[in-house]
Structure 1
């Protein structure tokens, strides 16, 4: 046992075992059935030196509590969190020069904001839009007891990744202050008479862990030297040298600021195609993907991790077979790109050919445009990628595909469709990708199809918005006032931006706060659009024209366990259907109310929102699919109100992976089943046990883990949700490495036929997959 404790000012105090006991009581307050003496024995075993510091004691408590975490006694993770909190409070007090007490561990907010604004760490808007008196009023609202909601892994993640430090890396900000700063920054442009009320409402939503903001917003809101607030982006590459290199530059600029990027390359000509009439000169898309791969590696995200880029092409592109081998670990390394993710865009016609063992034709998009002569109303050439089927097996794409197959001058490669699918599944089992993007399903459900086409998704397969390539119009030398400049003129395309946050289902639903929560979430997301400053101008412009947002959810399995609903059950499918209908109703109503206040998005006219078909297409208004929480009459009334008042946001619902932020909130990720009852977080010198949330004798029976679940039930639940989600879901398939090919294929066929828009990773115990950090809303 130590003889003395060394204080930060080098003052020494005698080691007092009684004080240790009092501190232990405080750590364990309210955590029933945890053995105090067991914890103290563990602490004393780690304090064998004559002299110890306060930090040594805190670390001993933290590590001793973590060592006691088991499935049977999961609440030790909260004891460990409280010990970490003590250390965090002391560090912040020391660096900010105030005294921290057990019943008042937070310092004054106004001096913190003033200091960090003057140091260039916080943004000036925090002082320009809020008076000292207002900041002090908000400080009174901060409830440090809400820090007790964090378990150890959640608090550690929040501390290491999100809390503000000074330029020397010292912790300056505490958890509740981070939430308050985010709330202040997101609401600073609101009218002065409502601003404080909205800040308080935002803080309520975040600090109670009823919701989480996406990682870019959590990290960067209110900070000066930081990235932007949007989660991810999707670019469409023009089939020209300028378009390809400009896209790479834009990707680098966004990656530098912390964005995840999806890149659609389906318009770029295939290997062996002609260039300016010269035959067999194109090297195809693989070299350009390798260039993007180098960008991902060399332009990291805010100096913390390599860039995250996903590339997509269509399954009817001539380079598809080489594309499917991109991430394999064998073969020609000159044709590999291991640091990007890849996805394929799949029409119904292909899946039908797979199912019926038919043949499939591959074309060069450049040659299709040149030979077929299809054009839009403005005379611009069109390719197969510009069409989709309005019904299963019927529509423009099927017709155009048939025309292309029968054209005598159009070259093609013909292969069995099942052979292509085998290559897809082989890659998925080895690498987790490609993602599957069912393009006909997506475009049929697109509420803004009057204004464009959706070609692909983003890095995490949940964003589906109109896309088009930015085209260089001209480049000229201009001399004015004796100065010569090169002026480049571009026609901006639809460069997709996604702004995300998510509902913590397992806290918000049992608390009955959805009706209050969703409106403030929508306002927070909508404000990100106006506050954000995106370097890529076409992205900024697209963001302003569509004002798209992506409200999502996490903690689904956590909620089902609390409700006593088994994952593999019709009850779970029905529960998903009703719950997500309610969320969607609140979401659309909130956007409509915001439109009444601030105006609808600029491209509202002509959309499915405008003509009312958004509601009828989803079966909301005919009375045949009336849900548990929302009546047909309510939907009919909302349809009329939307047609009259508009909506603020062109797209609203998108379920992201929520990897990091669900950890902070202490819940299960996104819509995924629990991975393990007791998982482990690897640190440099130790492992941290992390039990399932709210694990108890009651919930354990409803926590069947991911690889033991029949994935067809997961697909059924996702299909029930999809009707209510105007964009997509980051939906993972969990399979064993030895899954039979026929069983694996049946999962894909089921997902497609059920009306799902995408599948994300295929996860196998043999794979380690690095998550997209930007989409961790």
Structure 2
């Protein structure tokens, strides 16, 4: 019979709890409780029928009563040996000689020696907690010290469950594949695709030393959320085996038919493992979670276009529920849905508008969660000229009629240049019912955009509608609508902003469709269209339904770890290490393979995915990189560096996709695209010889992927990789995370006396106008968009927040994400106080 361990606490979104803090609340594992730090001599078995002597008080160890280390839920006990505890601590200390462990050792020993008995897991938890508590500006290495202790625990538990010597750290990889496939944890795909000899060759790639790259917080997050366990949550898979499994899974369909094909495939597996295990990149969390396992899909987000019909609305709701069940977030464009008071079947004032349907989506988001890990996440987009826009902007407010609120969806507004111009001149703005516009004019306003800044199809069509007296409208002041946007943003962080004209001007596939909205995190911009019911036929006892598939967008994401892959260079102009040159080609291939391997929850998503083969290669660790390179956030140097770095990343990504197209063929919609005609390169001012040569190669060889770059929030994977999230600044260089019964220090990645000056100002004190300029420089090189947060004090002047939005629009930024407000003193905010 086995007995449960006491598990380590689960980390929160901001940081981890101290080990053991949630022991009572967390489901126990059923692996033998074994401390990874040896603190006792030979075990003394306790007869099952005999009760273990209980201490009369906590101080008995000092009264000559021996301290016992208990294991297996008290079924075994071992006499405590302080010398062995010290040797175990010293073994880790040898890796971090700069740390003073004397007080640490005394504290841990005191914790044990005050008690008559200590559970082995509680002792390990205390070792980790005490190490984390010592993290500060002068000794950030304690975070890695804690990780070493936790690694030993993982090695010990995996070895017990897989029957090998823990000193080896890793056991048989082939055995792991077979064992977890038998338990229906791993799929059989890898075992079918690779021979035993190939898997043994892959196993030799494993580098246990790379486990030492993890800080405790990242390692704990990886171990508790993403490593494969059995159904009782017993430890089986270890970190390097997760990286190798992802690499094998994503490369399984690489061509092995030609001469040297199998050898070439194993080389690609090795490259993917190199990229992942060195933490040079991370895959999207669904890929990290599901690759090589049974069930689940590999993509993060989806975008649906809701049709203006009862069937279309409910079909979209069902599709969104299926996506959420599979672990995906959703963006839903509601701009086609008729407004409140619109006619239905010619009967006026029949429609309830978009709000009731958004409330339905709200209920779906709550009731259909993402793989049981978190509630569903849905962002709803609506055009700024839609007659329901005012009610829409109030959806998440805490005041007013709660029957008209939807607190669990995220709101986003689709904004044309013409509206921003009306805000600038404090002009009028007109709201219309899209159904009425379609009935009278024969077309929808949202199907047009301004092809040039200040001129184009949309403003002509808008003026045509304004001048058509047959069409009813509501007249408002544009600035009043914008005030409502800002009020909602300061209270709720929403709505997100989607600048539709700039998005569509820079869309490389405008020949094949329109972009109406973005996804949950505002970084994906791809062609969209609604899926529509064509017919239902009764055939015997069957009902055959035919639907015309629309473009249902899929986000296939991974991210470069800038804090590791772009190393500080010596000498003038040496911007990039050779890591990016090697990394981006394998990263693009991995993303492209996700498209063919994915089991998507709705069929039209599969059709769209294969039509455009869109990927979203992103980045994280921007602030980390600036600190390592000694570049201040608020400087022109940061803007110039952003421009140069992202141009280089883009160039390498285009090159990689072009070479994949030469090897495997172009995406089906390539002909006529801006890639094909060269407009993509001209519109971005890519006129150097290197770019001109690449454009010529693309025209001849094509592109494998219709869209390439997108910078997602990637907070979880950045935490695993030990860097800062996305292109965001850190919250603070060093702070204490307050929890129910403890304070945990949190330090910025790579924090030291050298990097402190570049971290000293946290997000809310950095100049947000500098962030806008910096982001605009990188946006030129990102064919999709960037999850770009604005950090402002809650007391910010309305005029300053308005100017911040106007600046983002003028600079050509395509989307903005949250407006995150904080109650800092306005006097501390230099950029917003002037």
With structure 2 as the length reference, what TM-score do the two structures score?
A: 0.87
Q: Residues 303 and 552 of structure 2 are in contact (CA less than 8 Å); yes or no, is this contact kept in structure 1?
A: yes
Q: Which residue of 1 aligns with 2:106?
A: 41
By how many angstroms is 1:685 displaced? 4.6
Instruction: List per-residue Cα deviations over 1:349-389 (Å, max 9, x = no partner).
Output: 0001001100000001000011113xxxxxxxx21111000
1:30: how far off?
3.0
Given the alignment of the two structures, is residue 217 of structure 1 paired with residue 274 of structure 2, yes or no? no
Structure 1 residue 128 corresponds to structure 2 residue 197: no
Q: Give CA deviations for 1:496-528 in whole Å, capped at 9, x if unaligned.
A: 001000000010010530000000100110000
How many Å apart are 1:159 and its aligned residue? Answer: 1.2
The residue that corresponds to 1:542 in the other structure is: 608
Q: What's the secondary structure of 1:572's corresponding residue?
A: helix
Whether 1:293 aligns to 2:359 is no
The Cα of 1:283 is off from its aligned counterpart by: 0.2
Q: Equivalents in 1 of 2:189, 2:94: separation in Å?
A: 40
Q: Report the equivalent of 2:685.
A: 619
Quick check: 1:502 aligned with 2:571?
no
Query: How do 1:347-386 residues align onto structure 2 when only pairs under 5 Å count?
Result: 347-373=416-442, 382-386=443-447
**Does the aligned pair in 1 maintain the 2:531–2:549 contact within 8 Å?**
yes
Shift in Å, 1:64: 1.0
Which of 222, 225, 230 is 1:166 aligned to?
230
Work out whether residues 795 and 823 of structure 2, in 8 Å CA contact, stay in contact via their aligned partners in 1.
Answer: no
- CA distance in 2 between counterparts of 1:243 and 1:71 reads 56
Deviation at 1:3, TM superposition (A): 3.2
C-alpha separation in 1, matches of 2:738 and 2:292: 31
Mapped pair 1:342 → 2:411: yes
Contact residue 793 and residue 821 of structure 2 kept, 8 A:
yes
CA radius of gyration, larger in: 2
Secondary structure, counterpart of 1:490 in structure 2:
strand
In the alignment, what sits opposite 2:312?
Answer: 243
Pairing partner for 1:310 from 369, 376, 379: 379
C-alpha separation in 2, matches of 1:117 and 1:683:
39
Deviation readout 1:571-614 (Å, 9 max, x if unpaired): 00000000000000000000000001100000000100011111
Equivalent-residue separation in structure 2 for 1:42 and 1:735 (angstroms): 42
What SS class does the counterpart of residue 141 from structure 1 fall into?
Answer: coil
Q: Offset of 1:172 from its aligned partner?
A: 1.3
Distance across 2 between alignment mates of 1:589 and 1:22: 53
1:91 maps to 2:157:
yes
Q: Does 1:491 align with 2:580?
A: no
1:747-762 mapped onto 2 (5 Å cutoff):
747-762=804-819
Q: Which residue of 2 aligns with 1:729?
A: 786
Contact 2:299 2:554 in 1 (8 A): yes
Alignment equivalent of 2:521, drawn from 448, 453, 460: 460
Q: Who is 1:764 aligned against?
A: 821
Give the drift of 1:55: 2.4
Selected match of 1:557 from 617, 623, 627 = 623
SS state at 1:243 partner: helix
CA–CA separation in structure 2 for the residues paired with 1:515 and 1:679: 36
Change (3 A) 1:683 1:189: farther
**Contact 1:504/1:554 (CA < 8 Å) preserved in 2?**
yes
Which residue of 2 is the match for residue 478 of structure 1?
A: 539
Deviations 1:228-263 (A, max 9, x none): 101100000110000000000000001000000000
Query: Does the 8 A contact of 2:137 with 2:753 survive in 1?
Result: no
Partner of 1:389: 450
Secondary structure in 1 matching 2:764: helix
Using the TM superposition, give the Cα deviation of residue 94 of structure 1 relative to its aligned residue in structure 2, in angstroms.
1.8
Measure, in 2, the Cα distance between the counterparts of 1:50 and 1:523.
Answer: 58
- How many correspondences in the alignment? 742
Asked if 1:638 is matched to 2:694, the reply is yes
Distance in structure 2 (CA, Å) of the matches to 1:90 and 1:761? 43
Cα distance, 1:432–1:725 mapped onto 2, change above 3 Å: same
Instruction: Give secondary structure in 1 for the equivalent of 2:382.
Output: strand
Give me the whole-angstrom Cα distance separating, in 2, the residues matched to 1:715 and 1:526. Answer: 31
1:697 paired residue number: 753
Q: TM-score, normalised by structure 1?
A: 0.94
Q: Distance in 1 between matches of 2:677 and 2:738?
A: 53
2:730 is matched with: 674
Matching residue of 2:203: 139
User: Hey, what's the Cα distance between the residues in 2 that align with 1:732 and 1:456?
Assistant: 18
Q: Confirm or deny that 1:183 pairs with 2:239.
A: no
What do the CA deviations read for 1:594-635 (whole angstroms, capped 9, x no partner)?
0011000000001000111111110002xxxxxxxxxx1110
1:200 pairs with 263, 267, 270, which one?
Answer: 270
Q: Is the 8 A contact 1:210 1:503 kept in 2?
A: yes
- Please name the residue that 2:667 is paired with: 601
C-alpha distance in 2 between matches for 1:45 and 1:461? 52
User: Match for residue 59 of structure 1?
Assistant: 125
Q: 2:706 aligns with which of 650, 654, 658?
A: 650
Partners of 2:161 and 2:485 lie apart in 1 by 54
Q: Deviations over 1:58-106 (max 9, x none)?
A: 22210110111123321111111111111111121222222201xx211
**Contact 1:77–1:690 (Cα < 8 Å) also in 2:** no
Query: Which stretches in structure 2 are left out of the alignment for 5+ residues?
Result: 1-60, 257-261, 568-576, 825-834
Give the superposition deviation at 1:676: 1.0
In the other structure, the counterpart of 2:469 is: 408
- Tell me how large the CA RMSD over aligned residues is: 1.4
Once the 2 structures are TM-superposed, how far is the Cα of residue 32 of structure 1 from its aligned partner? Answer: 4.0
Please name the residue that 2:89 is paired with: 24
Aligned match of 1:156: 220
CA distance in 1, matches of 2:446, 2:77: 74
Q: Distance in 2 between matches of 1:637 and 1:155?
A: 43
Task: Give me the whole-angstrom Cα distance separating, in 2, the residues matched to 1:242 and 1:766.
Answer: 46
Asked whether the equivalents of residues 414 and 498 of structure 2 are also in contact (C-alpha less than 8 Å), the reply is yes
- 2:82 and 2:109 in contact (8 A); partners too: no
User: Any stretches of 5+ residues in structure 1 without a counterpart?
Assistant: 374-381, 622-631, 768-777
Report if aligned partners of 1:239, 1:267 keep a CA contact under 8 Å in 2. Answer: yes
Which residue number corresponds to residue 434 of structure 1? 495
Residue 23 of structure 1: CA displacement? 1.2
2:798 to 725, 729, 741: 741
Q: In structure 2, what is the Cα distance between the partners aligned to 1:67 and 1:171?
A: 26
Per-residue displacement from partner, 1:22-45 (whole Å, max 9, x unpaired)? Answer: 211222233242111111012113
SS in 1 for 2:544: strand
Cα deviation, residue 6, structure 1 = 4.2
Please give the alpha-carbon distance, in whole angstroms, between the structure 2 residues aligned to 1:383 and 1:580. 36
Which residue number corresponds to residue 31 of structure 2? Answer: none
Deviations, residues 678-702 of structure 1 (Å, cap 9, x unaligned): 2455666544322001111110011
For 1:337 and 1:227, the matched residues in 2 are separated by 28
1:424-451 Cα offsets, whole Å, 9 max, x none, are 0000000001000000000000000000
Which of 578, 581, 602 is residue 647 of structure 2 equivalent to?
A: 581
Structure 1 residues 164 and 684, CA gap change in structure 2 (3 angstroms): farther
> Is contact 1:681-1:690 (8 Å) kept?
yes
Does the 8 Å contact 2:378/2:410 carry over to 1?
A: yes
Distance 2:133 2:275 in 1: 33
Give 3-state SS (helix, strand or coil) of 1:46's partner. Answer: helix
Higher normalized contact order (CA 8 Å, seq sep 6+, divided by chain length): 1
